[in-house]
Amino acid sequence: MASKDLKFNTKTIHGGQKPDAGYGAVMPPIYQTSTYAQTTPGGHKGYEYSRSANPTRTALENSLASIEGGTHGMAFGSGLAAIDAVIKLLQPGDEVISTNDLYGGSYRIFKRIFEKFGIVFHFVGMQGVNAVQEKINSKTKLIWVETPTNPMMNIIDIKAIASLTIDKDILLAVDNTFATPYLQKPLELGADIVMHSATKYLGGHSDTVVGALVVKDQELADRLYFIQNASGAVCGPMDSFLVLRGVKTLHVRMQRHCENGKAIAKFLYNNAKIEKVYWPGFEHHPNHKIAKEQMNDFGGMISFVPKGGSYEEAIKIVERLRVFTLAESLGGVESLVGHPASMTHASIPKEERLKSGIVDALIRLSVGIEDVDDLIADLDQAIA
């Protein structure tokens, strides 16, 4: 059966994989090597130097291409290294339209690294397509979408944004870190590039930092592969192995993340001490209809604001939590809590943060796969 005909849960385990040619190892070995013996100059078995390609990395790249429904995957040393490669497709003077409510590090690399090379970034709220449409001109070469957004859990209609790029020389890239292909497949909705911080749900165990791109077009794959090899921010064999192992349980982990996320979103919503809860599964969430259309479930990321909450009150709550660990990052088996204003989003100026609703009291949860009763009891004592 060709990999592309398999269903999703089967693809996470078998997609793009075959037993190792050497000894039939079921898990791809960690090919911890920089170079490969040649019989005559150029006489090799497909690998000559591990920046250009490494068999463990290839196994991961094929797996990622399979689960995202793409044709080519590329693994990088971090999510930001993957973003870096995408922006390097552009020329000085080119314009990018990006989601305004996005991962702080993405904002930082756009503004602080690439703006000085003459690339122009526009940050807009993308819940309506009009705001995006208004910014499109002949210099627009890339639209950067993150959905669900971080940390406000807004949902952006990928298909509607993709429709703006038809017949235009504009690439649509979607950061699929929060949703993962278990919940949403941007390439099927019209995106050209899917980007991941595989550090998060794909790896799933908070044990490595890895990034990835997946595309469905040979020409674009060639251009990105050239950048991957020429700039060299590749993912090492051990890290490739760890993410590959993580992907094999992505579907079972995601199912539990979603179940626990739903129970916690409801607990917070019904708690008198909580002012606001951001989770796309609520029917009253402003983008719930699109979330239902483009996602299979609603994920394990939730943000909330305590009633009358101040910066200090939010800090107290995150410090009181015992099962939730106060830490950057998300998407691991363990539940994490973060305070965006002082942590993940501290690199975004306060006025910009407030424009997207990131108030000082906002708290973000990455709900893990522990027993949900323990998680709820922990939140209950921290809020009370």
Ligand X SMILES: *Cc1c(COP(=O)(O)O)cnc(C)c1O
- The contact set with ligand X (CB under 6 A) reads 78-80, 103, 105-106, 146, 150, 175, 177-178, 197, 199-200, 209, 211
C-beta closer to ligand X: residue 13 or 189: 189
371 is written with which tokens? 């027993």
Nearer to ligand X, 29 or 105 (CB): 105
* Separation of alpha carbons 324 and 260, rounded Å: 13
Preceding amide of 151 cis, omega within 30? yes
Least distance from ligand X to the Cβ atom of residue 353, Å: 16
* Residue 307 C-beta: closest distance to ligand X, Å: 28
The nearest distance, CB 331 to ligand X, in angstroms, is: 8
Instruction: Return the exposure string of 255-272: e unless at least 16 CB atoms fall within 10 Å of the residue's CB, then b.
Output: ebbbebbbebbebbeebe
Residue corresponding to tokens 């979103």: 265
Task: Give me the sign of the Cα torsion angle 346, 347, 352, 357.
Answer: negative
Residues with Cβ within 8 Å of residue 113, at least 6 apart in sequence: 84
Q: Which of 31, 103, 225, 278 is catalytic?
A: 103
Q: Round to whole Å and give the CA distance between 39 and 237.
A: 24
Nearest approach, Cβ of residue 196 and ligand X (Å) = 8
Active-site entry in 57, 141, 200, 262: 200
Measured CA to CA, the distance from residue 138 to residue 228 in angstroms comes to 27
Nearer Cβ to ligand X (28/299): 299
Sequence-distant (6+) residues with CB within 8 A of 63 are 12, 15, 16, 17, 73, 244, 247
Instruction: Tell me, yes or no, if 175 is annotated catalytic.
Output: yes
Closest distance to ligand X from the beta carbon of 152 (Å): 12
The alpha-helical segments, DSSP class H, found in 19-109 are: 55-68, 79-87, 104-108
Q: Residue written as tokens 């077009």?
A: 217
Q: Which of 175, 239, 297, 378 is catalytic?
A: 175
CA distance 209 to 233: 12
Q: Which residues contact 168 (CB under 8 A, 6 or more apart)?
A: 136, 140
**Tokens matching residue 200:** 């998060």
Q: Is 51 a catalytic residue?
A: yes
Q: Which is nearer to ligand X, 17 or 154 (CB)?
A: 154
Q: What are phi and psi of 296, to 5 degrees?
A: -85, -20
Rounded Cα gap, residues 4 and 65, in angstroms: 10
- Measured from the CB of residue 45, what is the shortest distance to ligand X in angstroms? 31
- Give 362 or 383: the residue with its C-beta nearer to ligand X: 362
Nearer to ligand X, 267 or 324 (CB): 324
> Measured at CB, which residue is nearest to ligand X?
79
Nearer to ligand X, 260 or 366 (CB): 366
Nearest residue to 144 (alpha-carbon basis) of 120, 118, 167, 117? 120
CB of 105 to ligand X, least distance (A): 5
Among all residues, which ones are annotated catalytic?
51, 103, 175, 200
